[in-house]
Amino acid sequence: MMIVRPIRKSDYAELLKIADESGHGFTSLPVNEELLTKKIARSEASFAKQVAQPEDEGYLFVLEDTETGLVVGTSAIEAAVGLDDAFYHYHLSKVIHSSRTLNVYKAVDILTLCNDYTGATELCTLFLRDKFRKGGNGKLLSKMRFMFIKAHQQRFADTVLAEMRGISDDQGRSPFWQWLEEHFFSMDFPTADYLTGIGQKVFIAELMPKYPIYVNLLSKDAQAVIGKVHDKTRPAIQLLKNEGFTFNGYVDIFDAGPTVEAKVDNIRTVRIAQKRTVVIGDNQGGMQMMLSNDGLVEFRATLADISVEFNTDTVVISQQIADALLVQAGDTISIAEL
């Protein structure tokens, strides 16, 4: 059985492997032993913390195969970005160049450096090992965050965003960054990406162009990747679009990958998730459902094929599922269709 749970200190070795497998452009999991250790400790402290409003908490989850004990993926939630370190984006918009005298009218795309998402909640660090990208594992790892947010809504902002990985090649070369590097920086994309991942962001404010960038002055290769996602990220962005997330012109400052956003109350899983009282018994199966307990430190989520009666406030689950979710008969769980 696959279970999502909060990360523990004992998961460090597996997290390091996942960080190494995730490759270039995966800023939130740099291959840095000290940083990963701190990331785990910060997550454990966040889950244990009493919170009335979102601040600097970061919640890191892992997907565990309970049969083998192997950790096969991660996902995370940042409660409120940009409160301690500036959270940068480029915003893609238009300016109009016109002259009535010459009868010329031209709309031009520009990129403007901004911090518009300061204070928003961020979905991040979603990675699933290749051979486990099946059976709904990716959906569980992503969507269970909405179940957690709904259960603990005071811990999160009204706006939720996700930065999607932009286009770069196997060597970590980003067409968008190559143009910036040539004109403003003296470091390659993997180095800039790594420095951001370990929290050294001051160089962005120091070296980034202070004025809007005219898109038509970029190289053709750089223009072509603005707002585009990495091939491995296509399933993730489609999943978020299905949940109600939209692209509003914000792109990553390094690889120009799109950032999508949604209001919490408009997220599909948040809207359809239902509270049910647990009944232990034999459920002959039916549709694939996502199930989660209402815990914090002991939060658990899983998938199961169960038959659900929609005119009742109970749900029948097996003892095995109840044990996995750390619940007993009479406890409350949340359920949602995938």
Active-site residues, by number, are 230
What sign does the dihedral 318-291-165-233 (CA atoms) show?
Answer: positive
β-bridge pairing 246-251 and 332-337: unpaired
CB neighbours of 244 closer than 8 A, spacing ≥ 6?
A: 262, 266, 267, 268
Q: Is the dihedral of CA 245, 248, 249, 251 positive or negative?
A: negative
Q: What is the CA radius of gyration of the chain?
A: 22
Q: Contact at 8 Å (CB) between 126 and 143?
A: no
Residues 6+ apart with CB under 8 A from 131: none
- Beta pairing class for 2-6 and 58-65: antiparallel
Give the containing element (helix H, strand E) for 131: none
Give the separation between CA 236 and CA 331, rounded to whole angstroms.
32
Closest by CA position to 155, among listed 259, 76, 77, 40? 77
Q: 137 to each of 130, 202, 301, how far by Cα in Å?
A: 11, 37, 11
Tokens encoding 253: 């400052």
Give CA–CA dist 160/250, Å, rounded.
14
Mention every residue, 6+ apart, whose C-beta is less than 8 A from residue 14. 62, 70, 71
Geometric angle at alpha carbon 51, from 45 and 54, rounded to 5°: 95
